[in-house]
Structure 1
Amino acid sequence: MTSLRHRTLTLVLALLILGTLTISLYNFHDSGHEITEIYDAQLAQSARLLQGVVQMPLPEADREQLYTAFNNALSQAGRHKIGHPYEGKMAFQVWDLQGKSLVRSASAPVFEQLPSKPGFSELKIADVGWHGFLLPDEKNGLRIWVGERDDVRQDLVNRIVRHTLIPNLIGIVLLTVLVWLAIGWGLKPLRNMAQVIRGRHAESLEPLLLTPLPKELEPMQAALNRLLSQIGHLLQRERRFIGDAAHEMRTPLAILRIHVQNALEAKNETAREQALQFLLGGVDRLTRVVNQLLTMARVEPETARKDWHTVDVESVVRGTLAELTPWMLGKGLELSLEVAQGSYSVVTDAEAIGIALQNLVTNAANFSPPGGEVTVLLKDDGPTHLSLQVRDRGPGIDEAKLERLFERFYSRDNPNGAGLGLSIVEMIAKRLGGTIDLANHADGGLLASLSIPRDASAAPG
């Protein structure tokens, strides 16, 4: 794509040339019309002046001398130093009623047939076009014809057009230079912005603060600053993910190495089997940490897309619990679902709700006693929200530590937990525009309540 300067200059020049050609064509047409009107008026005026002269009451002998003097004077047209070259292209002729030529200029054409139509007419004589005016004088028995060669008028029109076009062409060239310079001056703030951006360090994500700035560039600066902010969030998220992964994996990897060494140095099969069992448990825990970190990265609110649709939350809950049931039975736990009467069709992210429920149930299972029960309750909380609750039958938690449960890698001294599940649920709740609350149940255990808005797509963030 060409530069803005070239695009703007091309558009301006195209409009300027189109406008100039339109005006020139109009001037050409209008000039031809006006020149025709002026010359026609001169022809008619000359015919009447000539009529007045030949009507003078003179004796016949004096009249002949007058005609001879007329002819002699008109024969000098275009030859004398004082005059105009166009004189030879204008003609006069007077006939009597019998067709006898009385007065005739030297430049007058030779008519094969005398004109008979009064007024203006176009004639073609000896391949030369003439525009004439015939004035009949029945009273004195005369026919007066005054004519002018067409090329005289056309030459004058061409001169006028040339005198109009040449200044216009010169003006277009000058305007091109001026418009080029003006556009360059107008685009100077854009060039300054580009220079500032090019001059910045690759790792500099500070917002642009260019002042003064034209109003047209303010949205661009705002968009760039928003993009820089998003990039900053992405880099921060990436660094946090790397830091979290390094923090959480350092110890398990060291422990795994110890278990491997123990297995290699085992003196008997029982010691080797025990070391391998510890190794298997460590691998499982590290797998859970990796899965949780990847889940957290996927649902990060700063980068999550809100391409959501109307879903049936009850169907999402039942499908998620169906997937978790074999795992829960393998742990010797019972999983139940209670659905209160109501409407559960909402605009939300079905996958995010499934992930949140999976983490809540997993967290409840980790703190449930053997043979315990985890209960999931879906409730209609009115026209704006619904709630998804998960309750375990564990020992609950100290009220002072409830807030810490949402901290990353805080697992309440549970060796099987990664400490990321509730952090993921909190992140999803913020993304959906809802809330997550934890409280000790009156009958024992911990109750987690996830509030979900019915139109999560309108939620900020």
Structure 2
Amino acid sequence: MRSLRQRTLWRVMLLLSVGTGLLALYNYHDSSHEIDEIYDAQLAQNARLLQGVMSMPLDDAGRHALYLAFDQALSRAGKHRIGHPYESKLAFQVWNTNGEVLVHTASAPSFSRPLSDPGFANVTIAGRQWRSFVLPVPEHQMVIWVGERHDVREDLIERIVRHTLLPFLLGSLALALLVWIAIGWGLQPLQNMARVIRARHAESLEPLQLVPLPRELEPMQAALNRLLGQIDELLRREHRFIADAAHEMRTPLAILRLHAQNALEASSDADRNKALAFLLGGVDRLSRVVNQLLTIARIEPQLSQRSWVTVDLAKVTTDTLAELTPWILEQGQEPSLEIAEDDFHVHSDAGALAIALQNLVANAVNHSPRGGRVNVTLQREGDTLLLSVNDQGPGIDEADLQRVFERFYSKGSEHGAGLGLSIVAMIMERLGGSVMLSNLPGGGLRATLRVPRSP
């Protein structure tokens, strides 16, 4: 693709050429019309002057002398050094009522018969086109014809067009050079921005701060800064994911290796089976950690895009609990659902809300004894929807109610990875809501999602 300067230059010059061409065409037609008007007026004026001269009160001898003087003077038209070449292209001729030529110029064409139609007309005589004016003078029994060859007017128009086009062509070249320089000057801020970007270090993700900056480039700088911010956030998430994975997997892998070594060195089947059971439990816990880490890696970019739609939270809750019911029953617990009669439509992310509810239910099941009940309720409080999960576990110490939202903080359950509640807190923060934990008076823990109708 050509440069912006070339693209702009060609488009500007094309518009100027088309516009100037249209103006030149209009001027050509307008000039032709005006020239015709002026020359026609001169033809009529010459005919009137000739009428005045030919109408002088003279006797026959005087009139004959006048005709001879006319012929002698007009025969030298276009041949004398004092004159103009166009004199030979202007002609007139006078007839009497009998069709006899009284006087004419040497350049006058030969007519087969006198012209009788008065006024202006275009006639072709002997292969030449003439613009003629016929003036009848009945009181003096004569007809006056004044004519002008068309090539006089065409030559004049051609000269006007030629003298107009030549400066235009030369001016266009100079204008193209000036436009090229002006465009380059106008694009200088863009070139400065490109130079600054090229000079930046490959690992530099700091926002661009170019000042002063034209208004047209401010959206570009803002878009670049937004892109740099997104890349920076992506790299931070990647580094955090790697750090979290390394932090959480280092100890379980060491323990798994220890259990595997104990199984190899076991002196009896009972010791070997015990070591393998510990090994299997460690693998399950590590699998839960990996799944939670993958959930974080998947949900963070999704929440950043904010692809929110109108969601029926009652349906999301019902579908999510229905999917988890087989697993809850397998864990020896009983699920229950209570939804109040109300409108539970919100503008949010259905997938993220489902993941948050799944983590709360899983946390409740992991901390409740077999035979317990996990109760899910949904109700409305003003413009906020309250989605609660109640369990029958031991609850959480008041001092730890906030710490449990920290990553990898797990207390009271050997099955926890320490990521479930932190994922819930992250989701609710991105959705404009919140999550609250409180101990129930009769024992157990209540986890409540506060979901705003319109974040």
**TM-score tier (shorter):** over 0.9
Give 1:374 shift. 2.1
Q: d(CA) in 2 for partners of 1:173 and 1:130?
A: 40
SS in 1 for 2:216: coil
For residue 403 of structure 1, what is the aligned residue in structure 2? 402
Quote the residue 2:201 is aligned against: 201
Q: Secondary structure at the match of 2:145?
A: strand
Match of 2:174 in 1: 174
Confirm or deny that 1:230 pairs with 2:225: no
CA 54–341 in structure 1, closer or farther in 2 if over 3 Å, else same: closer
CA distance in 2, matches of 1:411, 1:37: 103
Following the alignment from structure 1 to structure 2, what is the Cα–Cα distance between the partners of residues 363 and 370?
14
Residue 34 of structure 1 is matched in structure 2 by: 34
Runs (5+) with no aligned partner, structure 2? none
1:141-197 per-residue CA deviation (whole Å, 9 max, x = no partner) reads: 221111110111111111111112222222222211111111111111111111111
Aligned length: 455
Matches for 1:15-414 after TM superposition, within 5 Å? 15-300=15-300, 303-382=303-382, 384-414=383-413
Q: 1:407 to 1:65 in 2, by over 3 A?
A: same
Deviation at 1:103? 1.0
Task: Kindly report the root-mean-square deviation, in angstroms, between the aligned alpha carbons of the 2 structures.
Answer: 1.7
How far off is 1:413 after superposition?
A: 5.0
Distance, in Å, in 1 between the alignment partners of 2:172 and 2:397 is 85
Partner of 1:448: 447
**How far apart are residue 371 of structure 1 and its match?**
2.9
Between the aligned partners of 2:303 and 2:355, the Cα distance in structure 1 is: 17
What is the percent sequence identity of the aligned residues? 63
In 2, are the aligned partners of 1:27 and 1:161 still within 8 Å (CA)? Answer: no
Residues 249/50 of structure 1: CA separation in 2 closer, same or farther (3 Å cut): same
In 2, the alpha carbon distance for the partners of 1:335 and 1:62 equals 139
Query: Which piece of structure 1 moves more, 403-412 or 360-369?
Result: 360-369
Equivalent position SS for 2:221: helix
Write the distance in 2 (CA, Å) between the matches of 1:445 and 1:146. Answer: 122
Query: In 2, are the aligned partners of 1:385 and 1:452 still within 8 Å (CA)?
Result: yes
Larger deviation: 279-288 or 45-54? 45-54
8 Å Cα contact 1:301/1:431 also seen in 2: no
**Larger deviation: 250-259 or 338-347?**
338-347
Per-residue displacement from partner, 1:240-278 (whole Å, max 9, x unpaired)? 111101111111111112222222233333222222211
Gaps of 5+ in 1: none
Question: Alignment partner of 2:300: what SS?
Answer: coil
Task: Give the distance between the partners of 1:27 and 1:154, measured in 2 at CA.
Answer: 15
Cα displacement (A) at 1:21: 1.1
**Can you list the C-alpha shifts for 1:350-375, whole angstroms capped at 9, x where unaligned?**
22222111111111222223433222
Map Cα deviations across residues 52-103 of structure 1 (whole Å, 9 max, x no partner): 2222233322322221221122111111122111111111211111111111
How far apart, CA to CA, are the structure 2 residues paired with 1:303 and 1:187?
A: 38
SS of the residue 2:394 aligns to: coil
1:292, distance to aligned residue in structure 2 (A): 0.4
1: distance between equivalents of 2:284 and 2:239? 25
TM-score between the two structures when normalised by the length of structure 2: 0.95
Instruction: For 2:399 and 2:422, locate their aligned partners in 1 and report how far apart those are by CA, in whole Å.
Output: 18
Q: Is the 8 A contact 1:340 1:378 kept in 2?
A: yes
TM-score, normalised relative to structure 1 = 0.94
Question: Cα deviation per residue 1:292-343 (whole Å; 9 max; x = unaligned)?
Answer: 0111122216853333333332232222222323322333223222223322
Report the 3-state secondary structure (helix = DSSP H, G, I; strand = E; otherwise coil) of the residue aligned with 1:73.
helix
**Greater CA drift, 21-30 or 297-306:** 297-306
